[in-house]
Chain A
Amino acid sequence: MEHVAVWIAAFLTLGIISFLYKDNPWYKLSEAIFVGISAGYWFVVLFWDNIYGKFWVGVFPPDVVDEAGNFVSHGVPDYALIVGAVLGVLMLARLLPGVGWISRWPLAFIVGCTSGLYLMNYFSSNIMRQVQGTIIPLFGIGYGASVYEIIGNIVIVGGTFAGLVYFFFSKEHRGAFGATAKVGIWVIMITFGASFGYTVMSRMSLLIGRIDFLFGDWLGLIK
């Protein structure tokens, strides 16, 4: 059985890699299998975890038993879940012409909840903490920083400030403001360069992982 599994995996991996040569039926087959399996997998996971695991078990909980399997007490049902389930069913109203507007109510609930939560999270983590983290002494604590650290500090503070200036839309980019914005876009471009490098590294890692599988787990050529 193990042999079959490793051969299927190798067959599909090679199929996907064959796209580098050109689009071909082997690639299409591998891709279709991948798409189909992942869609099916997600359906199963969401069904068992959400509909069964959360809702069904929550509303109709099994009895509590001790280690020997003897009855201890009835489970406590959580009827609040029914509200969520009803809202969930209302989402399906989208499919029916005429009553499609009903689906807006659960949407309003989702949008309301998530925006409330996100507002807090983003505001504190991505704005306040970041502003606080940027307030650093340029020359280190008690003048103690090395030249490299001073340059690093200036880049952090200057880069953040210039980046903010670039994304400030209420003022024309002219004069000193425009010059700062220019610095800002340079900093942003350098960041993109770094990000691009990291992406290359990430994609290479994926390729290395597959090569390790093909030459190691499959063909056994790697010691």
Chain B
Amino acid sequence: MSSTTRIRELAVVILILVISVIVYIGKIQGWNNGLMFSPAVSLTVVIVIFLLLLYILLRTLQGHLIGRRTVFLFVGLAVVLPFFMTLTLKFRVSPEVQQLYDALSELQPGSKVLVSFDYDPPSAPELQPMAVAFLRYCLSHDLKVIIIGLWPQGPQQANLALEDALKSKEVAAKKPEYGVDYVNLGFQVGNEFVIQRMGTDFKSMFPKDYSGTVYDDLPLVRNVKNFSNIDYSFNLSAGYPGTQEWVQVAVDRYGLKMGAGNTAVQAPMMYTYLNAGQLVGLLGGMNGAAEFELVTNEIGKGTKFMLSQSFAHMIVIAFIIIGNVAYFKSGRKKKL
């Protein structure tokens, strides 16, 4: 690598840092109150990106191939720009989300809902919006929430989600009380063996809650012995152990009624359980979170992120088309 390139790269890094520092100071001082494009600007941006893609397609047809960094740049723009746009996106609620909501809305006030947080921060962008929306619905509809985690960081994610949910007006009006209306029993090692034991005895797996209070001192769970005392359960899952293990043990063996929220990567695998009636409903990825927010009439991060998500998908589709054009034009071995 030549030293001029290195100097140029370093200059770019320093430039980015300087701009960041200025913007950050602006945030602290209060003269940066966020950025928002007007509808006209938003529309112009969309049209410019579309024209650029069209140009790339034409160039590809002429046999000029683009580099992978161009693809990254476009995907980056498609994700970043919508955050500042004043466009609203219309989408509809899919049947699996509706089913999950229907089963939840049929519950009587005071019903006990078990929520298992089986994910960690890397999957939070997808699952956290679901967690917040679900907890918000439960706490504002007098459903009692029992939280556990089969992943060590799950209960921490739960606390973050609770914090967000408690900020909502409807929830705050109900003044939910820890130990009475909701409880976080924490993490337990043992994967599906934990679920198995919970089938006979919750207390043996969670003798104390997240903050060390003894199980029997928590009014909400004092009389909860096993799954037969749970009216509904919701599993937020990013892998193993997750929805598959819950279905195999808790649903099929102990007859627990269960809905699931999954990362998009594993959602397709869960449709088999949905079809066979082992799950009452399914939220798949950020899309699922947004639809759940729509059906519960609460705008949250899922909805907010959907514009970026849709833009990014359009860019990906555009590049799949461009890539295929390149493939058929230039034979097997030349690549983007």
Contact = CB atoms under 8 A, between A and B. Distances in A.
Give yes or no for direct A-B contact (beta carbon below 8 Å): yes
Interface of A: 3, 7, 10, 14, 20-21, 24, 26, 45-46, 49-50, 53-54, 67, 117, 121-122, 124-126, 129-130, 132-134, 156, 191, 194-195, 198-202, 204-212, 215-216, 218-223
Given A125-B247, A125-B248, 7 more contacts: A117-B196, A121-B192, A121-B249, A124-B252, A202-B285, A205-B305, A215-B80
Interface in B76-96: 79-80, 83-84
B272 interface: yes
Contacts of B124: 209
B272 A130 contact: yes
B313 interface: yes
A211 B34 contact: no
Nearest to A7: B24
A49 B79 contact: no
B285 A221 contact: no
B189 A54 contact: yes
Interface in B124-145: 124-126
Contact of B308 (A50, A156, A211, A220): A211
Contacts of A207: 75, 79, 312
Contacts of A45: 152
B312 A204 contact: yes
Contacts of B284: 198
Given A122-B248, A198-B265, A208 B34 contact: no
A49 B152 CA distance: 9
B193 to A, nearest CB: 8
B34 A20 contact: no
A219 B268 CA distance: 36
A88 to B, nearest CB: 13
Q: In this complex, which of B28, B196, B272, B313 has the most chain A Cβ atoms within 10 angstroms of its Cβ?
A: B272
Given A205-B286, A208-B308, A49 B196 contact: no
A156 to B, nearest CB: 7
A210 B245 CA distance: 29
A211 B301 CA distance: 13
- Top 6 closest pairs, chain A to chain B, by CB: A209-B125, A133-B276, A220-B27, A223-B34, A202-B264, A121-B248
Contacts of B263: 202, 205
B2 to A, nearest CB: 14
Nearest to A219: B23
Interface string B85-112: 0000000000000000000000000000
Taking residues whose C-beta sits less than 8 angstroms from the other chain, chain B's interface range is: 35 or more
Nearest to B245: A121
A69 B308 CA distance: 55
A7 B305 CA distance: 23
B287 interface: yes
B306 to A, nearest CB: 9
Contact of A195 (B33, B268, B301): B268
B332 interface: no
A211 B247 CA distance: 34
B187 A49 contact: yes
B20 interface: yes
A209 B264 CA distance: 14
Interface string B110-130: 000000000000111110000
B23 to A, nearest CB: 5
Contact of B32 (A24, A156, A208, A221): A221
B268 A212 contact: no
A4 to B, nearest CB: 12
B189 A50 contact: yes
Nearest to B189: A49
A204 B252 contact: no
A222 B313 contact: no
A216 B247 CA distance: 37
B334 interface: no
B35 interface: yes
Q: In this complex, which of B24, B36, B249, B264 has the most chain A Cβ atoms within 10 angstroms of its Cβ?
A: B264
A14 B248 CA distance: 40
Contacts of B245: 121
B66 to A, nearest CB: 15
B229 interface: no
A201 B287 contact: yes
B277 interface: yes
B275 interface: yes
B252 A129 contact: yes
Contacts of B285: 198, 201-202, 205
Nearest to A26: B13
B146 interface: no
Nearest to B287: A201
A205 B248 contact: no
B303 interface: no
A205 B189 contact: no
Contacts of B126: 202, 205-206, 209
A46 B313 contact: no
B69 interface: yes
Given A124-B252, A204-B312, A205-B286, A211 B276 contact: no
